[in-house]
């Protein structure tokens, strides 16, 4: 697409042209809501059916790491928003700086997730991989706990996949920003990657209380 921010024929004004890109991104993000909705619905169903098991299983995942990750991700949203701001005011070096900061924070998030997944693997809480939540408990308990962990890995895994895609987008964006491609006249890609990144943050904002805070603090 045009890289100069000039007005294209089918748009009446530059403002409308710019807004169209944003609208398109939002329509895509709405489909992402539908995408995650299936898992959230499944979670709602099984948590309401087995509330006690879900609370107990929730206590076994690392609350501290989850909370730290929440702060990391919110911070990455701030640096992303500031990256967009830097593009809007034409501070080229700052754009690169903020985008790199966002990428670093996103990587920290993924690193912490890897640590959490490893913890779960060692404790035999990974469904399908020698799963054993409560040795000696009846098969019902283990089966229902497996529901929680399937949802835990499914939802955070899908979220992590979106983070990885976001990281890829950021790498591309940093490359383009280093070439000086973004300015007050043209910064649509920065804004749209920003929208994507904030959306992934919002998904985590819901995942954190629903997965980590069910059982209360121990």
Partner 1 sequence: MSGHIVPLKVYYTVFALLIGLTGLTTWVASVNLDAPWNTVVALAIAVCKATLVILFFMHVKYSSNLTRIAVVAGFFWLAILLTFTLSDILTRGWIHESSAWQTSSLESPR
Buried b (16+ CB within 10 A) or exposed e, 76-112: bbebbbbbbbbbeeeebebbbbbbbbbbebbbbbeeb
| Residue 24 to residue 2: CA distance in whole angstroms | 16
Rounded to 10 degrees, what is the CA torsion of 144, 146, 148, 152? Answer: -170
Alpha carbons within 13 A on the beta-carbon side of 184: 3
In the complex, the smallest distance separating the C-beta of residue 138 from partner 1, rounded to whole angstroms, is 15
Q: How far is the CB of 98 from partner 1 (least distance, A)?
A: 11
Tokens representing 17 are 């042209």
CB of 121 to partner 1, least distance (A): 25
Question: Considering beta carbons, is residue 32 or 126 the nearer one to partner 1?
Answer: 32
Question: What is the rounded CA–CA span in Å between residue 85 and residue 87?
Answer: 5
C-beta closer to partner 1: residue 72 or 160:
72
Cα–Cα nearest to 160, from 99, 113, 127, 192: 113
* Cα distance between residue 2 and residue 179, in whole Å: 16
Which residues sit at the interface with partner 1, rule CB under 8 A? 5, 14-15, 17-19, 22-23, 26-27, 29-34, 37, 40-41, 44-45, 48-49, 63, 67, 70-71, 74-75, 77-78, 80-82, 85, 87-89, 184-185, 187, 191, 194-195, 198-199, 201-202, 205-206, 208-210, 213-214, 216-217
Specify the residue, 4 or 128, whose C-beta has the smaller distance to partner 1. 4
Select 30 or 132, whichever has its Cβ closest to partner 1. 30
CA 195 to chain centre: 11
In the complex with partner 1, which residue's Cβ is closer, 22 or 132? 22
Of 171 and 205, the one with the shorter C-beta distance to partner 1 is 205
């Amino acid at each position: 697409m045009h890289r100069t921010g000039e007005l294209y024929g089918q748009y009446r004004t530059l403002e409308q042209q710019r807004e169209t890109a944003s609208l398109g991104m939002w329509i895509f993000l709405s489909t992402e809501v539908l995408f995650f909705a299936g898992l959230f619905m499944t979670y709602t169903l099984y948590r309401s059916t087995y509330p006690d098991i879900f609370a107990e299983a929730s206590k076994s995942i690392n609350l501290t790491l989850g909370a730290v990750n929440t702060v990391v991700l919110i911070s990455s949203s701030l640096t992303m928003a500031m990256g967009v701001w830097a593009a809007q005011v034409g501070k080229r070096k700052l754009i690169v700086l903020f985008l790199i900061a966002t990428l670093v924070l996103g990587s920290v998030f993924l690193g912490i997730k890897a640590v959490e997944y490893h913890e779960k693997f060692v404790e035999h809480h990974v469904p399908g991989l020698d799963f054993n939540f409560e040795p000696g408990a009846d098969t019902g308990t283990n089966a229902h706990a497996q529901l929680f962990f399937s949802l835990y890995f499914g939802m955070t895994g899908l979220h992590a996949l979106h983070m990885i895609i976001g990281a890829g987008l950021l790498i591309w964006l940093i490359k383009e920003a280093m070439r000086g491609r973004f300015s007050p006249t043209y910064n649509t890609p920065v804004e749209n990657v920003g929208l994507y990144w904030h959306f992934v943050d919002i998904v985590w904002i819901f995942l954190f209380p629903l997965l980590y805070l069910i059982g209360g603090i121990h």
